[in-house]
Amino acid sequence: MNHLQILKYMLSIFSLASFLSSAAQEKQVKIKILQTSDVHGAIFAHDFIDNKTSESSLAHVYSYLKQLRENDDCELILLDNGDNLQGQPTVYYYNYIDTADTHVISQVMNFMQYDAASVGNHDIEAGHPVYDRVRDEYRFPLLCANAVKTNGEPYFTPYVVFTRSGVKVAVLGLITPHIPHWLSENLWSGMSFEDMLESARKWVEIIQKKEKPDILVGLFHSGCKSEGRYEAMNENASLDIALQVPGFDVVFAGHDHSKHCKQYAVGKNSVWLLDPASNARYISEVDFTVVKKGAALKSKTSKARLLSVDSLGEASPDFSLFDRYFTAVKDFVSKPVGEFTESMTTREAYFGSSAFIDFIHRIQLDVAEADISFVAPLSFDVEIGKGTIYVRDLFKLYRYENMLYAMELTGREVKDYLEFSYGLWLNTMKSPDDRLLLIHEREANSGAYRFVNPSYNFDSAAGIIYEVDVSKPVGERIQIKSMADGEAFSLDKSYRVALNSYRGSGGGGHLIEGARIAKDELSKRTVFASPVDFRFYLMNRIEKEKIVEVKPLNQWKIVPENLIKKALVRDYIELFGNKNNF
């Protein structure tokens, strides 16, 4: 072979190698990202509160996961968006009763092979011993960039980067900054909470400069409701960030328990915003097809959907691995604690004094040694039947793990607090044909009527005798006639008032907007804070009394009766479908 032939041969080999190398550098990768959010203890296919089978749970989610891992050809990333540590007795039991064992949520999420999770406000509400313990038990990072220590460093991991078949996926975690407005400081001690939009801008710049991801994901425990003018420290900022912080391919939202799946244009690009509601009823799913040539991103396309869990098949039998956890919780909630002489329901609480709410009032007044008590129905519509009461019923009686506070308030502040509260749920009536309650018109999807404001903010009082005159405007309705024992009530006197820790920390606005007490003054007004959650006192009271006589205190009512009579019955029927109580 002469020199010319050798040169041609070498050139052909080089050209072939270059072609093969170039072809090898260009590859297509499929990545599927799944999100759960606001699971609230729905781990097993069983509702421990109502003692019935559940059609949605992490056990159902796992059936779908297993199918994907066995049959799909894509790279899978599994994310959770917080609020796992409150909701069902499942997590309550391992938060506070059995604290020696590995937490059930850690066991299950590790088994399911979650890749990352964000922190939710109800995780923080479980307290440092609980969420710090769970963070250490997880075999994946717990994300939150805007919960920062006193030195400015994030308390949790701010973001994480995954590399899947050469594709870099960065996930940034954020939490709603309203924690200090809802929770007592001991629950989030050592942290402060930065504005989500500002934090997102800062961390996206860091991530893009340092990590250069092919896909950027927001995992935000914050809702989608806010749109348009942004307010600092916004509770529900996920949509604002998606629209105002360039670079995200998908933002996973949560917190507001509302389904959402929509793609938004952001300049020349687009971003998906997904929220799978709550209690593992839906899964957010985003599919990316990424084409890379070497390290360079050549193209990226995506599609997204919300999957209804009850359409994906049965709960996974593999969750039998956790039978001992299931049995421990089932035994705990099945323990009888006493007996009620009559049934109780929250329905009556919206129309006047009710046995359900007044039972809680009685305990708050006693435990806090208070003059006055404030209580709201923490669930919209629940009933506890006559007869034997079990531990599971305490979760109906009192939905959240709130502590009990006592605060010093003046009579004027008590009145203003109640004016604000009743303004959230009662209309100003001009004729009997007006509504009594502030109710949205019938929803198109469900055909149901709903309150304009959440019912867990509808505080009534005990310890005082008063009327609410709905013929008068908000601010002039409450007429306090006396203390419950007949003593005079004074606007200028100071009273010891019992209320839950959510309200005592400013939640709902009753103290800050209603009574006009500055946020930084609330802790100074607090003269008692219970060492354990209020459900403990409920259990103790029922066990002590054994047979609890169910009856309302009848210390307040709505007037004038001739104006409200027709509206009361009509509104009750629209909300609950019958008029059994009237």
Percent of the chain with pLDDT over 70: 93
Q: What percent of the chain has pLDDT over 90?
A: 86
3-state secondary structure of 396: helix
- Better-predicted residue by pLDDT, 355 or 312: 355
Rounded CA-CA distance 547/549 in Å is 6
Question: Is residue 160 domain-shared with residue 196, that is, in the same domain?
Answer: yes
* DSSP bridge pairs for 526: 407
198 in any annotated domain: yes
Alpha carbon distance 293, 296 (integer Å) = 5
Average pLDDT over residues 527-546: 94
Q: Which of 150, 98, 142 is nearest to 124 (CA)?
A: 142
* One domain, residues 163 and 251: yes
Question: Residue 19: which pLDDT band, with cuts at 50, 70 and 90?
Answer: very low
Q: Is position 31 within any domain? A: yes
Domain-terminating residue out of 298, 314, 329: 329
Task: Please state, in angstroms and rounded to a whole number, the distance separating the CA atoms of residues 193 and 177.
Answer: 5
In a domain, 582, yes or no: no
Do 380 and 478 share a structural domain? yes
Residue 227 has pLDDT above 60, yes or no: no
| Same structural domain, 322 and 260 | yes
CA 404 to centroid of chain Cα atoms: 20
* Region 3-29 average pLDDT: 60
Q: Are residues 288 and 434 in the same domain?
A: no
Residue with structure tokens 């007795």?
A: 89
Region 165-175: mean pLDDT is 97
Q: Indicate if 229 and 340 belong to the same structural domain.
A: no
Q: In terms of domains, do 125 and 223 share one?
A: yes
Q: What are the phi and psi torsion angles at 129 (to 5°)? A: -60, -30
Q: What is the CATH number of the domain that holds 169?
A: 3.60.21.10
Residue 364: both structure tokens together: 């708050």
In the listed set 274, 296, 329, which residue is the last one of a domain according to the structure? 329
Identify whether residues 214 and 120 lie together within a single domain: yes
DSSP single-letter state for residue 310: G
Looking up tokens 């991103």 gives 297
Q: Does some domain include residue 406?
A: yes
Q: Identify residue 155 by its one-letter amino acid code.
A: Y
Give a yes or no: residue 497 inside a domain. yes
Q: In whole numbers, what is the pLDDT of the chain averaged over residues?
A: 92
Query: What letter represents residue 43's amino acid?
Result: I
Same domain, 315 and 358: no
CATH number of residue 483's parent domain: 3.90.780.10
Q: Does 110 map to a domain? A: yes
223 membership: H or E segment, kind and range:
none
Beta strands at 142-143 and 116-118: parallel, antiparallel or unpaired: parallel
In a domain, 260, yes or no: yes
Domain with 181, as residue range(s), is 27-329
Looking at the domain assignment, is residue 6 inside a domain? no
Enumerate the β-bridge partners of residue 36. 80
Residue 22 in this model has a pLDDT that exceeds 80:
no
Q: What is this structure's pTM?
A: 0.88
Q: Is the pLDDT of residue 23 over 60?
A: no
Average pLDDT over residues 413-436: 97
Using alpha carbons, select from 276, 262, 528, 569 the residue that is nearest to residue 403: 528
Give pLDDT, residue 577: 84
Cβ proximity of 558 and 564 under 8 Å? yes
Q: How many separate domains does the chain show?
A: 2
More confident residue, 184 or 331: 331
Tens of pLDDT, residues 198-219: 999 999 999 999 999 999 999 9
- Same structural domain for residues 364 and 482? yes
Residues 186 and 86 in one domain: yes
> What are the phi and psi torsion angles at 414 (to 5°)?
-60, -45
If asked whether residues 154 and 287 sit together in one domain, one would say yes
**What is the model's pLDDT at position 229?**
52
Interatomic CA distance for residues 440 and 429, integer angstroms? 16
Residue 29 has phi, psi (to 5 degrees) of: -125, 130
Q: Give the integer Cα–Cα distance in Å for 321 and 344.
A: 38
Q: Which of 277, 299, 329 is the last residue of a domain?
A: 329
Per-residue pLDDT tens over the stretch 437-469: 999 876 555 567 889 999 999 999 999 999 999
What is the residue type of 547?
A: I
Separation CA 555–CA 482 (nearest Å): 10
Residue 314: closest CA among 66, 81, 82: 66
